[in-house]
């Protein structure tokens, strides 16, 4: 006698892993996704703080890339499920598309280095003289490594699509004009910046730092619709879209580029640069088999090492522990009308402009050039949103 339909569903649910998230509530992981989560390479994300060194100023900002990745996985699944529910037959969405979007959400940050974007954007350029390296491309390499290392049985075409979804926002080719480009915009949207990655980290970061957040992603996700192969939103959701970009800009001003956070980052960068010749930290970025071993604990490893050659790095780290951090001197905000003629200021510029008998050397000065906008420089991102609306 055949089992009732509800009994079949009950059996399927027993295969799901239930995780309680403090932002999204209950998150359920299917067996194929658990195969990736239950690897040392993915579990490494527990040791990467989402906001790097920000917790040194905002003590609550200790959430990790691990929980963020689960959150993006969950939102990516919701987004594709909503689109499939209302437009699945029309758009030709298949099960493999759903799986690819969810897996891209889960794995989009497995290639991140220590201390959030500081490692990629500030440390590596110092030791490699500006050579470009992106965590998105490393994520793609790491995915291949995880599959090979753990013998995960997965369709190669599905895996290829997942990697393309992750790297599409950094200029890598996607599907070569085959259509369904909207699928590649769900996790990392290079066209207008509205994606579930932002949906998760904006709400999560605000909560962790004790800041209010007026942005509500659920409102947008419930009404998203694909028009001309692009995810679109209702015209009356204009203000909700604006809150997304405005909240992101506020986080940059008040949290990510906080003066003391910047000072601590500069000290950590100096410590890592001084330690790199002896620990060869940067060389790991070329091999996933070595890169996954690198996380935020590198700072503690340097601090407690008995190696004499690491003393300069240790002194800098101990200064941070004792709150003897680089001193913030001044800031200058460039007026909007002068942005086109502005170039990044260097320590040499500061030294050359000294007056009143001040005698600083270039090594005494650290300059942080920060650009805060609504994602597209002086361009209003809402103009892109308004080109397609319903």
Contact 50, 66 (CB under 8 A): no
135 is an active site residue: yes
C-alpha 330 chain-centroid distance: 29
Q: How buried is residue 113: exposed, middle or buried, by Cβ count under 10 Å (0-12/13-18/19+)?
A: buried
Residue tagged active-site, from 135, 150, 242, 258: 135
DSSP of 189-207: -TTTS--HHHHHHHHHHHH
Query: Rg of the Cα trace of the chain?
Result: 23
In the chain, % helix, strand, coil (3-state, to 5) comes to 60, 5, 35
Query: Which of 380, 372, 121, 379 minimizes the C-alpha distance to 250?
Result: 372
Query: Which of 58, 52, 56 minimizes the C-alpha distance to 254?
Result: 58
CA atoms within 13 A on the CB side of 136: 19
What is each CA distance from 101 to 26, 31, 193, 247, 387, in whole angstroms?
19, 16, 17, 25, 25
DSSP of 307-334: -GGGHHHHHHHHHHHTT-PPPP----PP
CA atoms within 13 A on the CB side of 387: 9
Query: Which of 90, 48, 89, 50 minimizes the C-alpha distance to 68?
Result: 50
CA dihedral 356, 361, 363, 364 (to 10 degrees): -30
CA 235, CA 329: separation in Å to the nearest integer?
45
What is each CA distance from 87 to 224, 229, 390, in whole angstroms?
11, 12, 15
Report the catalytic residues: 135
């Amino acid at each position: 006698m055949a089992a009732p339909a509800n009994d079949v569903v009950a059996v399927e649910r027993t295969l799901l892993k239930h995780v309680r998230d403090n932002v999204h509530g209950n998150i359920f992981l299917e067996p194929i996704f658990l195969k990736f989560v239950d690897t040392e390479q993915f579990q490494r994300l527990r040791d990467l703080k989402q906001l790097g060194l920000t917790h040194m100023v905002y003590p609550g900002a200790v959430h990790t890339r691990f929980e963020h990745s689960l959150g993006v996985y969950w939102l990516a699944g919701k987004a594709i499920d909503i689109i499939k529910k209302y437009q699945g037959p029309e758009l030709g969405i298949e099960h493999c598309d759903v799986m690819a979007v969810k897996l891209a959400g889960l794995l989009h940050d497995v290639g991140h280095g220590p201390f959030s974007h500081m490692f990629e954007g500030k440390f590596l350029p110092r030791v490699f003289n500006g050579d470009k390296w992106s965590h998105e491309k490393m994520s793609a390499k790491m995915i291949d490594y995880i599959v090979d290392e753990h013998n995960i049985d997965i369709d190669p075409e599905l895996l290829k699509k997942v990697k393309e979804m992750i790297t599409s926002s950094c200029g890598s080719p996607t599907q070569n004009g085959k259509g369904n480009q909207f699928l590649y915009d769900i996790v990392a949207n290079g066209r207008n910046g509205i994606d579930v990655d932002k949906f998760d980290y904006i709400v999560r970061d605000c909560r962790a730092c004790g800041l209010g957040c007026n942005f509500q992603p659920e409102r947008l996700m419930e009404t998203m619709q694909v028009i001309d192969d692009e995810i679109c939103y209702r015209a009356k959701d204009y203000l909700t879209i604006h809150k997304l970009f405005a909240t992101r800009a506020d986080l940059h001003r008040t949290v990510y580029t906080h003066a003391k956070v910047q000072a601590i980052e500069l000290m950590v960068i100096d410590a890592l640069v001084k330690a790199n010749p002896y620990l060869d930290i940067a060389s790991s970025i070329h091999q996933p088999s070595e890169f996954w071993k690198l996380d935020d604990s590198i700072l503690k490893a340097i601090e407690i090492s008995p190696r004499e050659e690491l003393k300069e790095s240790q002194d800098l780290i101990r200064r941070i522990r004792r709150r003897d951090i680089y001193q913030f001197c001044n800031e200058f905000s460039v007026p909007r009308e002068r942005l086109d003629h502005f170039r990044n200021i260097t320590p040499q510029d500061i030294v050359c402009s000294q007056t009143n008998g001040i005698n600083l050397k270039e090594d005494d000065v650290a300059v942080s050039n920060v650009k805060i906008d609504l994602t597209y420089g002086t361009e209003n991102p809402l103009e892109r949103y308004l080109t397609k609306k319903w």
